[in-house]
Amino acid sequence: MHRSFDQRRYLIPFRSTLLPQIFTDTLVIGSGAAGLAAAHAAAEHGDVIVLAKGSRTRSNTGWAQGGIAAVLDSSDSIASHVKDTLAAGGGLCDEPIVELVCQRSADAVSRLLDAGFAADRDEHEQLALAREGGHSARRIVHAQGDATGTELVRCLLRITDGSPAIRIFEQCFALDLLTPSEEPGTPCLGAITHHPRHGLQMIWARSTILASGGAGAVWRETSNPSLATGDGLAMAYRAGATLADLAFMQFHPTTLYVAGAERLLISEAVRGEGATLLDATLERFMPAFHDRAELAPRDVVASAIHRTLARTGAAHVWLDARQVTHFADRFPGIAHRLQQFGLDPQTDLIPVNPAAHYMVGGVRTDADGHTDVPGLYAVGEASCSGLHGANRLASNSLLEALVLGEAAGRACVEMHAEGNGNALRTRATPVRLVSDIPPTERGELDLTDVRSSLRAGMWRNVGIQRSETHLADMMEMCTFWARYTLDKVFEHPAGWETQNMLFLAELTARSALWREESRGCHQREDAREPAAQFQVHDLWQRGSETCTTIPVGAVVINS
């Protein structure tokens, strides 16, 4: 690893005592489902501040189309949900976590419905459960057809607005987590943030919950909003937290492929309702790749599309949804967006391609969100709880956000108690922190060019199919850009995001290069089969050029 990646502890120079000071019991970084679920639980034992990088409604959660996986029907079972999750996870799921989350699924959905979540129902007013790829039963709760994320955010924010203990700071960029020193094991004390009106601020917290989402925007082709730049993972790494399984970025098989337009996610539920995939000759190809055909796990479908495109030389494949009856009623949002491109799913084939969608790896946690930095918890897509293994099962992410977000919100009360052995926790005054960054030459740097090159390189070299040569090329590219980017001090989010994206790109390429096998959503052309020695979680920490590993299942479950 180029020394620039580990050299800087903070992105900017500052003196903590010269900046405005804000205090709270719990700081939640991120306003998606995981962050809001954690905030609601933490508000039961203290004051909470939630940071929203953009508006409070703009997060990966709001873009979720599919739904929430839960066992709610007598024809289904928790054992079946566990089995499906383990099968999709490619041998890397931590089974105790899988069992815990699946067992709590019905209660999580029940609480959501009690809070006013407007789930779709059938003509008998029963929940209209859908089926998605990798699931052996209909167990997906959805809302407004394909707008589950939008409804979930609305419902969770309604709860938030009813809590006097929770404040949301919108347009607030978290630059770095605060620790009293750079030594391993020192606690997290909050974060330094930037607001366009108030400038830099120190937010001191007894407990900090990282719920900042993933890093899909690090790839050129992505279903994620542009704010998904991996900031939380990068700042956790700089603070000394361990990151795990970074090779595993899940590529969604079907996003609308129209030249010059942003990639529109076309939910897996469309295939669950009977849509099929066709190659350039209009032949169906998925049955040759998996016995579940279009309902195979996402890594299988994405890889099959990639191989089909390589074989045919076409720019995209076709999604045939003409046999999906009442498409506009079941998927109104998708139908509306397709209409904007002159496409009618009842009569037209839909051009689709895979795109980076969900970061399976993240900050390593246990069942209560603990990281190895005291006082720091991580939940949702920013975390690596072991639930997803090597490949996320469809609609398990919103379930994880609700279940483990709540668990972390409840667990962080431990950091608020007097006499917990950590004197820094009970101080009424802030700690004096100094970030000294030597001045550098202020050369011109085109951030748009850096980001564009980085994202294109990640799609080309760390995309669906990978190889040692391409991964080494990506690391070399990261080293090149590090020389010109990581020594700079920026005064705006675009610069900080670019630096964070560079951190994540290098770490992801390193993890993928180390993992000399194909497993789940990590596919190596030069190592096509899974290898027993890599059936472990790979862990990465600041200051170490090589990874350590822990066996699958080595996770703590507190009763």
The pLDDT tens digits for 4-45 are 677 789 999 999 999 999 999 999 999 999 999 999 999 999
Query: Residues 398, 33: contact at Cβ < 8 Å?
Result: yes
Q: Is the pLDDT of residue 63 over 80?
A: no
Q: What is the pLDDT of residue 264?
A: 86
Are 137 and 73 within 8 A, CB to CB? yes
* Three-state secondary-structure class, residue 420: coil
Q: Report pLDDT for 77.
A: 96
Please say if the pLDDT value at position 1 is more than 60: no
Residue with tokens 């190809």: 285
Mean per-residue pLDDT, 445-464: 95
- The lowest-confidence range among 193-197, 220-224, 422-426, 552-556 is 422-426
- CA-to-CA distance for 4 and 84, rounded, in angstroms? 42
Q: How far apart are CA 247 and CA 229, in angstroms?
A: 16
The predicted structure's pLDDT at residue 443: 54
**Side chain identity at 166, as an amino acid letter?**
I
Rounded to the nearest 10 degrees, how much is the dihedral formed by the CA atoms of 217, 222, 226, 231?
Answer: -30
Q: Which residues lie closer than 8 Å to 23 by C-beta, 6 or more apart?
A: 203, 204, 205
Q: How far apart are CA 106 and CA 98, in angstroms?
A: 14
Which residues fall within 8 angstroms of residue 554, CB to CB, at 6 or more apart? 94, 537
Alpha helices in 183-323 (DSSP H): 231-238, 268-272, 298-312
- CB of 220 within 8 A of CB of 195? no
How confident is the model at residue 418, as a pLDDT?
A: 56
What 3-state DSSP class applies to 365?
coil
Q: Which of 91-95, 134-138, 183-187 shows the lowest per-residue confidence on average (mean pLDDT)? A: 183-187
Question: Where does 424-529 have alpha helices with state H?
Answer: 447-461, 468-485, 493-514
Q: Which two tokens stand for residue 39?
A: 């905030």
Percent of the chain scoring above 90 in pLDDT = 78
Percent of the chain's residues with pLDDT above 70: 95
Across 80-91, average pLDDT: 96
Quote the tokens at residue 408. 């972390």
**268: confidence class by pLDDT, cuts 50, 70, 90:** confident
Q: Of 215, 264, 252, give the one whose Cα is nearest residue 235.
A: 215
Average pLDDT, the chain: 91
Instruction: List C-alpha distances in Å: 161 to 34, 158, 449.
Output: 16, 5, 41
Cα(185)–Cα(543) distance, integer angstroms: 13
Summarised one tens digit per residue, pLDDT across range 139-176 is 999 998 778 889 999 999 999 999 999 999 999 999 99
2 pLDDT more than 80: no
pLDDT for the residue 369: 97
Do residues 289 and 295 make contact, with C-beta atoms less than 8 angstroms apart?
Answer: no
Distances (CA, A) of 8 to 283, 295, 371, 502, 505: 53, 45, 21, 13, 17
192 three-class SS: strand
Nearest alpha-carbon partner for 234 in 530, 503, 475, 532: 503
In the CATH scheme, what architecture does the domain 445-551 have? Up-down Bundle (1.20)
> Three-class SS of residue 98?
helix
pLDDT-derived band at 96 (thresholds 50, 70, 90) equals very high
- 199 CB-near residues (< 8 Å, 6+ apart): 20
- CA–chain centroid gap for 36, Å, is 15
CA distance 42 to 26: 7
Residues pairing with 522 in the sheet: 519
The model's pTM is: 0.93
Residue 137 has pLDDT above 60, yes or no: yes
Q: What's the CA gap between 62 and 151, in Å, rounded?
A: 8
Q: What is the mean pLDDT of residues 233-239?
A: 97
End-to-end Cα spacing for the chain: 40
- Strands 190-195 and 173-177, how do they pair? antiparallel
Which CATH architecture group holds 254-356?
Answer: Alpha-Beta Complex (3.90)
Catalytic residue positions? 298
d(C-alpha 227, C-alpha 246), whole Å: 19
Give φ, ψ of 540 to 5 degrees. Answer: -130, 135
Looking at residues 83-91, what average pLDDT do you find? 95
- Summarised one tens digit per residue, pLDDT across range 344-396 is 999 999 999 999 999 999 999 999 999 999 999 999 999 999 999 999 998 99
- More confident call, 372 vs 63: 372
Return phi, psi of residue 293, to 5°: 50, -125
Angle, to 10 degrees, between the axis of helix 447-461 and the axis of helix 493-514?
Answer: 20
User: What whole-number distance in Å separates Cα of residue 280 and Cα of residue 278?
Assistant: 7
**Coil vs helix vs strand at 158:** helix
- Rounded distance, CA 107 to CA 72, Å? 10
Mean per-residue pLDDT for 328-333? 89
Range in 94-108, 267-281, 495-509 with the lowest mean pLDDT:
267-281
Answer yes or no: are the C-beta atoms of 219 and 458 closer than 8 Å: yes
Q: What's the confidence (pLDDT) of residue 144?
A: 84
Q: What is the DSSP letter of 370?
A: B
- Rounded to whole angstroms, the Cα distance separating 357 from 339 reads 23
Token pair, residue 336, equals: 């509306």
Domain ranges of the chain: 254-356, 445-551
Looking at the DSSP bridge assignments, the partners of residue 377 are: 209, 370
User: pLDDT digit string (tens) for 531-542?
Assistant: 999 999 999 999
Q: Are 92 and 519 in contact (CB under 8 A)?
A: yes
Residue 3 has pLDDT above 60, yes or no: no
